[in-house]
């Protein structure tokens, strides 16, 4: 595989950009080696600066449910550009996208557009605090909610009940307000609430975790959270930045049949442009400025280009509900191919999948939370990743990410991927 230009650009990038990238996981640090610089994408594939072709399974980390650069999104963008790219005034597009989101996501009655998933979750917890007039939040180990200070916290060791920052620059005082529960473990949540009676404003969760690999929540766990939140006047926030419009038209909440109080969205709703949103119950959302006292703002929020691309995608999904059946069929086909390959090497590796997001862990233990996810042999994952890359299949350059299937992945792509995986696994586990 020729990577001359990618290597050249990465060396250049390192001179001007911290770590050579604008978001850490792109740098291939956890799989070793240098990142590939991509030049263009179309459908299920993208192409690097050295003209190598890859079947892409990251889909820009989630947004490209319909593959790269669909014609109808391009057309929506061209039309928007003709009219001007930003006004800083209300536009009809914003009303349209709000209506579609409310129509599709069961629990959302009002919605505010922002520019990233991070902004959405950060604003949602401020709103939950404003609504409940309480300070603390509960999050779960292994869930990712963007890079706001409040979320860069992990559990303290041993008997310590206080969280500790996972990043330099996050203050101890911030970490005091973030309590950490274990995913799929209701007792840890009950204990935290008991110890912090009347201080917990919100529980935030990825109802289908996609940032420790793919780890779905048990329905009983999600139901339990709903009950606890009702009893204790806690705002339940589903972070559906990844699962929203990915696992179903109405996200994970539609699959579970459970309504959170607030939902955060991103990724797919921007059609590949920088967008996020948070929404939920009217009585809570009406506290957001200017209708209420919880401040939130954005110069480029509701940007016409982003709204046009997002609206095009959401309208498409609304008018073509068959998309989710197609995705399920391709995804189960791929997953079954992977599982057959595992049988050949006599490994019973943990394999989690919800619709078109899936993840294989290099451990035979069942993966149900962060602790079990960490059992995966990440060194082997690194080898696996590079073997696949050499064969023209681009998986996430980290064990703890999902791979995503789009409607653009053809049977030929999937067969090629299954064959490549078979070869990669036998190369790694050869006798
Ligand atoms: C990607 C992601 C975020 C952060 O979104 P950004 O747009 O990267 O800020 C938050 N929560 C979840 C569940 C995500 O997958």
Per-residue model confidence (pLDDT) at position 402 = 97
**Residue 158 scores a pLDDT above 70:** no
d(CA 192, CA 230): 16
> Residue 41 — φ and ψ, nearest 5°?
-135, 150
pLDDT computed for residue 163 by the predictor = 83
More confident residue, 290 or 159: 290
Closest residue by CA, ligand 1 atom 15 = 242
Q: Is 431 a catalytic residue?
A: no
Ligand 1 centroid to Cα of residue 240, in Å, is: 9
Q: What is the pLDDT of residues 74-129, one digit of tens each?
A: 999 999 999 999 999 999 999 999 999 999 999 999 999 999 999 999 999 999 99
The C-alpha atoms of residue 172 and residue 175 are separated, in whole angstroms, by 5
Task: Give the Å distance between the CA of 145 and the centre of ligand 1.
Answer: 6
What is the 3-state secondary structure of 133-188? CCCEEEEECCCCCCCCHHHCEEECCCCCCCEEECCCCCCHHHHCCEEEECCCCHHH
Confidence of residue 141 (pLDDT cuts 50, 70, 90): very high
* Percentage of residues of the chain with pLDDT beyond 90: 97
Token pair, residue 115, equals: 């520019």
Same fold, 5-69+325-428 and 71-319: no
Ligand 1 neighbours, Cβ below 6 Å, are 116-118, 121, 144-146, 206, 210-211, 239, 241-242, 266, 276
Handedness of CA 111, 116, 119, 120 (dihedral sign): positive
Read off the pLDDT of residues 350-373 as tens digits, 9 standing for 90 and up: 999 999 999 999 999 999 999 999
* Greatest extent of the chain over all pairs of C-alpha atoms, in Å: 67
User: For the chain, what is the mean pLDDT?
Assistant: 97
**Which atom of ligand 1 approaches the CA of 143 most closely?**
13
Q: How confident is the model at residue 161 (pLDDT cuts 50, 70, 90)?
A: low
Would you place residue 156 in the very low, low, confident or very high pLDDT band (cuts 50, 70, 90)? Answer: confident
> Looking at residues 225-246, what average pLDDT do you find?
98
Q: Mapping DSSP to helix (H, G, I), strand (E, B) and coil, where does residue 352 land? A: strand
CATH architecture observed for domain 71-319: 3-Layer(aba) Sandwich (3.40)
Give the pLDDT score at 430: 83
| Nearest Cα to Cα of residue 122 among 247, 297, 286 | 297
Q: Is 324 a catalytic residue?
A: no
Going by alpha carbons, the residue nearest to atom 10 of ligand 1 is 145
Could you say which of 3.30.200.20, 3.90.1150.10, 3.40.50.300, 3.30.390.30 is the CATH number of the domain covering 5-69+325-428?
Answer: 3.90.1150.10
Per-domain residue ranges of the chain: 5-69+325-428, 71-319
Structure tokens at 56: 């892409």
Of 239, 261, 369, 413, which is the active-site residue?
239
């Amino acid at each position: 595989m020729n990577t001359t230009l990618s290597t050249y650009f990465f060396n250049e990038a390192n001179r001007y950009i911290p770590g050579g990238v604008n978001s850490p996981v792109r740098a291939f640090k956890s799989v070793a080696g240098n990142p590939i610089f991509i030049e263009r994408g179309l459908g299920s594939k993208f192409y690097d600066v050295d003209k190598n072709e890859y079947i892409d399974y990251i889909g820009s980390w989630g947004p490209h449910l319909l593959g790269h650069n669909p014609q109808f999104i391009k057309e929506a963008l061209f039309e928007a550009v003709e009219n001007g790219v930003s006004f800083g005034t209300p536009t009809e597009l914003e009303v349209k996208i709000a209506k579609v989101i409310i129509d599709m996501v069961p629990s959302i009655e009002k919605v505010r557009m922002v520019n990233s998933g991070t902004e959405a979750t950060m604003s949602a917890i401020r709103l939950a605090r404003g609504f409940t007039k309480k300070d603390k939040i509960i999050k779960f180990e292994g869930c990712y909610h963007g890079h706001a200070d409040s979320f860069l916290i992990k559990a303290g060791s041993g008997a310590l009940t206080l969280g500790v920052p996972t990043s330099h620059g996050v203050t101890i005082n911030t970490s005091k307000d973030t309590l950490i529960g274990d995913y799929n473990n209701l007792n840890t949540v009950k204990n935290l609430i008991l110890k912090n009676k009347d201080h917990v404003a919100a529980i935030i969760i990825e109802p289908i975790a996609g940032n420790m690999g793919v780890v779905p929540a048990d329905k009983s766990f999600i139901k339990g959270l709903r009950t606890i939140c009702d009893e204790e006047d806690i705002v339940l926030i589903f972070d559906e930045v990844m699962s929203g419009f990915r696992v179903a038209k109405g996200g994970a909440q539609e699959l579970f049949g459970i309504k959170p109080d607030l939902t955060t969205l991103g990724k797919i709703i921007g059609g590949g442009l920088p967008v996020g949103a948070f929404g939920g119950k009217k009585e809570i959302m009406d506290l957001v400025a200017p209708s209420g006292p919880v401040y939130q703002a954005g110069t480029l929020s509701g940007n016409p280009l982003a709204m046009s691309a997002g609206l095009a995608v959401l309208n498409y999904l609304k008018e073509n509900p068959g998309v989710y059946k197609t995705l399920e069929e391709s995804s189960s086909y791929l997953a079954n191919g992977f599982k057959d390959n595992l049988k050949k090497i006599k490994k019973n590796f943990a394999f989690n999948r919800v619709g078109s997001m899936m993840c294989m862990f290099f451990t035979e233990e069942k993966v149900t939370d962060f602790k079990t996810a960490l059992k995966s042999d990440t060194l082997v994952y690194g080898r696996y990743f590079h073997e696949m890359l050499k064969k023209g299949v681009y998986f996430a350059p980290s064990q703890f990410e999902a791979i995503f299937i789009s409607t653009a992945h053809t049977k030929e792509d999937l067969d090629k991927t299954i064959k490549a995986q078979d070869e990669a696994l036998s190369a790694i586990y050869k006798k």
